[in-house]
């Protein structure tokens, strides 16, 4: 994978599962808008961008293929469903089908590719509510567990505060899956650093995914604290940036992917992290986190 941004978005369509579809955007227009931002990080030495937009929220494998070929950046897409935001982005069959039937859909995408595109998912992207898990959230997590056991794809879960993170880790354990198969996304929304430490010690990947300059001091503190605890090897940093938005003029305002390279990495070095630590965060950790392997007890 090389130097990697592990959590970004090129296009996200927030209209809802009942209305989204490829008719909502013109691929050539999206390429014209997004390509310069990918070329920008390519110049900075990045090889891979993990594109975290799930199905029914704007996932488009053909678009990603076009952008990857034109930019030289490896783009990794996903399988799975987004059950947060009162299930606005879930298709009806997510409620009517069994957990096993949902998992089979995702397993099939892994094995056969997405919608005949020849593009295969590189991880499982799910999302749960920010509080204790609702029944539909548990169903989606359990489907992700079945998918991991069949495919070895890592589970990345849009989560936030610790209560939902640890409930998900419990479900993984009940399904015989080690915590190292799980990325706790948006852990920056959990204020108690002790919970970050506990999750990392269990083996989970603790991901801080919304870096911007205004959060610089906190991200430096996170890195230094995790290094002090001997847990820097379980940390992931990214921007959660981009976001071409269908329905807005010109796709709306697009946030680029360079703040980490231009702001965070120099600041981490100035505050005592070594070049090996930086390599750990942006090369070794993503490579290990997204390695396709079954992580079972």
Q: How many other C-beta atoms can be found within 10 angstroms of the C-beta atom of residue 91?
A: 15
Position 294 scores a pLDDT of 98
Those residues with Cβ within 8 angstroms of residue 76's Cβ, 6 or more apart along the chain or in another chain: 48, 49, 50, 51, 122, 123, 290
Please report the pLDDT score of residue 195 as a whole number.
98
Q: Is the dihedral of CA 6, 10, 14, 17 positive or negative?
A: negative
Find out whether 188 and 209 touch, Cβ atoms under 8 Å.
yes
Task: Spell out the per-residue pLDDT of the chain, length 297, in tens.
Answer: 999 999 999 999 999 999 999 999 999 999 999 999 999 999 999 999 999 999 999 999 999 999 999 999 999 999 999 999 999 999 999 999 999 999 999 999 999 999 999 999 999 999 999 899 999 999 999 999 999 999 999 999 999 999 999 999 999 999 999 999 999 999 999 999 999 999 999 999 999 999 999 999 999 999 999 999 999 999 999 999 999 999 999 999 999 999 999 999 999 999 999 999 999 999 999 999 999 999 999
CA 171-172-177 angle, 5° bins: 155
- Residue 19 is predicted with a pLDDT of 98
* Confidence (pTM): 0.97
For 92-111, how does the pLDDT look when each residue is reduced to its tens digit (9 = 90+)?
999 999 999 999 999 999 99
pLDDT for residue 208: 98
What is the model's pLDDT at position 275?
Answer: 98
Q: What angle do CA 8, 251, 84 make, to 5 degrees?
A: 50
CA distance 180 to 50: 18
The pLDDT of residue 67: 98
Domains of the chain in start order, with CATH, are 4-289 (3.20.20.140)
Residue 206: strand pairing partners: 184, 235
């Amino acid at each position: 994978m090389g130097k990697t941004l592990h959590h970004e978005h090129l296009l996200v369509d927030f209209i809802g599962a009942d209305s989204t579809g490829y008719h909502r955007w013109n691929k050539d227009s999206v390429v014209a808008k997004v390509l310069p931002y990918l070329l920008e990080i390519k110049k900075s030495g990045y090889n891979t961008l993990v594109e975290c937009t799930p199905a029914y929220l704007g996932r488009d494998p053909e678009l990603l293929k076009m952008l990857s070929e034109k930019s030289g950046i490896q783009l990794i897409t996903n399988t799975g469903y987004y059950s947060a935001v009162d299930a606005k982005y879930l298709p009806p069959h997510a409620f009517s089908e069994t957990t096993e039937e949902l998992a089979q859909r995702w397993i099939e995408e892994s094995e056969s590719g997405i919608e005949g595109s020849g593009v295969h998912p590189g991880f499982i992207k799910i999302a749960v509510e920010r509080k204790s898990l609702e029944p539909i959230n548990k169903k989606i997590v359990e489907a992700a567990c079945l998918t991991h056991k069949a495919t070895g794809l890592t589970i990345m879960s849009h989560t936030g505060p610790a209560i939902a993170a640890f409930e998900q880790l419990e479900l993984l354990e009940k399904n015989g899956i080690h915590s190292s198969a799980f990325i706790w996304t948006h852990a920056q929304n959990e204020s108690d650093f002790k919970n970050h430490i506990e999750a990392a010690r269990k083996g989970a990947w603790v991901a801080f995914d919304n870096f911007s300059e205004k959060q610089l001091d906190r991200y430096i503190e996170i890195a230094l604290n995790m290094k002090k605890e001997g847990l820097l090897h379980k940390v992931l940093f990214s921007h959660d940036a981009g976001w071409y938005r269908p329905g807005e003029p010109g796709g709306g305002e697009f946030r680029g992917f360079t703040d980490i390279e231009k702001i965070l990495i120099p600041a981490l070095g100035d505050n005592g992290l070594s070049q090996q630590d930086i390599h750990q965060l942006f090369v070794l950790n993503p490579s290990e986190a997204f390695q396709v392997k079954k992580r079972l007890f």
